[in-house]
Amino acid sequence: MLLTILLIPFVAYFYTTGHDIPPDDFSDLAPAPMAEVADGDNAHTYFAQLPDAFVYPNPDNNLPTDAMRCHFKNVGTNLTELAQALAENEAALGLLRRAAECEHRVPPPVAANLNELLAIPYDGALFMANILLLASIKFGIDTGDFDAAIGDMRTLLRCGKLARQNPGAMINWISGNVLDRAALAEIRNLARDPRLSEQQLRRLAKLSGEIPSYTSSMREAFKAEVVVGLVINDEFIAEMYANLDGKSPAEKMVRSFFFKHHYLPNRTRLLIAETYRSAIRELPKPYSEAERLVDPDYGKPSVVHLLLANNAYGKLLASTALVSIESAVGNRCAFDGEVNATKITVACNLFRKVTGRKPLALDELVPDYLDSVPPDPFDDAPFRYNHDLGVVYSVGTSLSDLGGVGTPMTGGLNWRHNRNAIFKLWEDIVR
């Protein structure tokens, strides 16, 4: 009798807190519909052929990407060997250049299970394509064929944009972003080369001006991540109930009782969806205005927590799928900031080529070289320029204007490790 009395509050607590909610409507998080395109006009057709098209020695049986990187690193500055390596990979270069002429990348639909959702048939090949195109750009610059180098930069940018289309998961977006940022670094490096003609600088200006904001593609990547999160949720449910097979009726009853309290599927789905809704809502905002979200830290829950906490397993599962809004907005601002810095770098060097002098202020570039001074995505103020130091810069995540003093950023950008993101404008020494 005493045991029954003691158990009443315990059972009442579980009964009152263990109810799930009705299913939510997630139609607002559905990925955008894919265009219908013929195979010949679909970049997927050409990307899918890349893994079999690369030619590179791999005596140590390394990962293909590492082997490709080592191959071109070993070739180094030997133009004869570099020309041979590029000739051996002409088929892969041809596929990339043909893909770059497409307007769409439409992958085949996949079944709603985790393995197929995360199947990425050529993301590794796109990382290898990045190495190959950078080698081709280097060859063009080192041999003075700037037009060919600019053409390969366009291919790199176009393939990056296409790789980010219709992502099945965030990794698809990341692989495209790698190509984009490599191309942006090469555009800035080449724009600073005094050997370029005015016409070639105008080609670079046109190329950098065609790069859209990353907000739209990142939004679609988040929607793809929602799908992945919901599938993980559903597969977890199936696995949990499958584990009840073969158990005694009493054990099934006890396990089901605790499971229904600790894991509320619809609440978990809503937790995943609301976090991504917040991320999508904040994504276009300047970093200084975006809502901050501290990642939920469930840590290693105690036995008491797991016994008593409402939807404890659901929260743990959802935490693996949640995105940090602050990190998401910071990354978007970094990518858009790099695009804007590239546009300014090209415009400044074109201005210098035409007028014979450096601009005193970025306003001098408007309207002949830029429609307007691009904003710093971190605080929405115009991008900063230090004439004496020859740099443009963003305040970055510090949100503090340090005057452009510091080490200019190079190809491997890490905005979080630089209080201001500084970009060098001029290079007076011919490479």
Give the model confidence (pLDDT) of 287-330 as tens digits. 999 876 544 444 445 555 555 567 777 777 777 666 677 788 88
pLDDT band for position 410 (50/70/90)?
Answer: low
The answer to whether the peptide bond before residue 367 is cis (omega within 30 degrees of 0) is: yes
Could you tell me if 168 and 224 are in contact, meaning their C-beta atoms sit under 8 angstroms apart? yes
pLDDT band for position 15 (50/70/90)?
Answer: very low
Question: Are 67 and 202 found together in one domain?
Answer: yes
pLDDT of 4 above 80: no
Q: Which residue has the tokens 């601002």?
A: 333
Question: Is residue 63, in this structure, part of any structural domain at all?
Answer: yes
Q: Which residue has the tokens 């970025």?
A: 362
Question: Is residue 207, in this structure, part of any structural domain at all?
Answer: yes
**Domains in the chain, number:** 2
Q: Which residue has the tokens 């607590």?
A: 13
pTM for the full model?
0.86
**How far, CA to CA in Å, does 71 sit from each of 33, 82, 86, 89, 92?**
40, 10, 11, 12, 15
Say which amino acid occupies 431: R
Say which amino acid occupies 127: F
End of a domain among 194, 211, 228?
Answer: 211
Question: Is residue 274, in this structure, part of any structural domain at all?
Answer: yes
pLDDT of 422 above 50: yes
Question: Are 118 and 258 found together in one domain?
Answer: no
Q: Which residue has the tokens 């397993």?
A: 313
pLDDT band for position 119 (50/70/90)?
Answer: low
Helices (H) and strands (E) in the chain, counts: 16, 3
Question: Are 125 and 173 found together in one domain?
Answer: yes
Question: Is residue 231, in this structure, part of any structural domain at all?
Answer: yes
pLDDT band for position 103 (50/70/90)?
Answer: very high
CB neighbours of 259 closer than 8 A, spacing ≥ 6?
240, 313
- Tokens in use for 310? 């409402």
pLDDT band for position 259 (50/70/90)?
Answer: low
How large is the C-alpha radius of gyration of the chain? 26
Tell how far CA 272 is from the center of its chain: 20
In whole angstroms, give the CA distance from residue 367 to residue 373: 9
The answer to whether the peptide bond before residue 249 is cis (omega within 30 degrees of 0) is: no
Residue in 322, 284, 319 with CA at minimum distance from that of residue 299 = 319
In whole angstroms, give the CA distance from residue 418 to residue 341: 15
Could you tell me if 394 and 421 are in contact, meaning their C-beta atoms sit under 8 angstroms apart? yes
Question: Are 199 and 317 found together in one domain?
Answer: no
In whole angstroms, give the CA distance from residue 182 to residue 131: 9
End of a domain among 191, 211, 231?
Answer: 211
Question: Are 157 and 264 found together in one domain?
Answer: no
Q: State pLDDT tens for residues 62-97.
A: 778 888 888 888 887 789 999 999 999 999 999 999
- Say which residue, 299 or 211, is predicted with more confidence: 211
Q: State pLDDT tens for residues 18-59.
A: 578 888 888 999 888 888 999 999 999 999 999 999 998 887
Q: Is 376 left (phi over 0), alpha (psi -120 to 50) or beta?
A: beta
pLDDT band for position 233 (50/70/90)?
Answer: confident
SS3 content of the chain, % helix, strand, coil (to 5): 60, 5, 40
Eight-state DSSP code of residue 415: G
Question: Are 183 and 66 found together in one domain?
Answer: yes
Say which amino acid occupies 349: N
Eight-state DSSP code of residue 382: B
Question: Are 53 and 142 found together in one domain?
Answer: yes
In whole angstroms, give the CA distance from residue 45 to residue 24: 37
**For position 113, what pLDDT does the model report?**
61
Question: Are 175 and 45 found together in one domain?
Answer: yes
Q: State pLDDT tens for residues 49-70.
A: 999 999 988 877 777 888 888 8
Question: Domain span at residue 84?
Answer: 36-211
End of a domain among 265, 293, 323?
Answer: 323
Question: Is residue 298, in this structure, part of any structural domain at all?
Answer: yes
Q: What are phi and psi of 104, to 5 degrees?
A: -140, 150
Question: Are 194 and 56 found together in one domain?
Answer: yes
In whole angstroms, give the CA distance from residue 379 to residue 179: 26
Question: Are 72 and 153 found together in one domain?
Answer: yes
In whole angstroms, give the CA distance from residue 157 to residue 183: 6
Question: Is residue 370, in this structure, part of any structural domain at all?
Answer: no
- The angle subtended at Cα 176 by Cα 281 and Cα 140, nearest 5°, is 140
Mapping DSSP to helix (H, G, I), strand (E, B) and coil, where does residue 222 land? helix
Question: Are 255 and 121 found together in one domain?
Answer: no
Mean pLDDT, rounded, of the chain: 83
Question: Are 193 and 286 found together in one domain?
Answer: no
Question: Is residue 55, in this structure, part of any structural domain at all?
Answer: yes
Question: Is residue 237, in this structure, part of any structural domain at all?
Answer: yes
| Cα dihedral value 307, 311, 317, 319, nearest 10 | -110
pLDDT of 253 above 60: no
